[in-house]
Amino acid sequence: MEAPACECLESLEWTLARKWARVSHAEPHPDRTRKPRTSDAGAIEAACLRVIEKNAKQAEQLRGGKTALMGFFVGQVMKEMQGAGNPQMVNDVLKRLFGLG
């Protein structure tokens, strides 16, 4: 009875070793690599101003009290910056620009 169990373990060990070799040498998928975040206040503010200018109607609604649009603006700024902006700083800059501080 020990021989079949031993063969199974060897087979399992060989299979896992092959899978590990494939995984450990694989390049990360480009969509799954994290882009470096920028905390450059000037770049973030410039992106915020561009987004506000492009979305004047929504900006007026936000100024009028529709605070749910804040998430829309944060998302648009992150899109404008290709995901490189620090989301907390983006939020803070937008609040300052909209006078929601």
Give the tens place of pLDDT for each residue, 42-91: 999 999 999 999 999 999 999 999 999 999 999 999 999 999 999 999 99
Going by C-alpha positions, the residue among 36, 79, 49, 42 that lies closest to residue 71 is: 79
* Pair 20, 43 in one domain: no
* Pair 58, 24 in one domain: no
Counting the structural domains of the chain, the total is 2
Range of the domain at 90: 36-98
Contact in structure between 99 and 59 (CB atoms under 8 Å): no
4-21 pLDDT tens trace: 666 776 777 777 777 766
H or E, element range at 58 = helix 56-63
**pTM recorded for the entire structure:** 0.66
Strand partners, 38: 85
Residue 48 has, within 13 A of its CA and on its CB side, a CA count of: 23
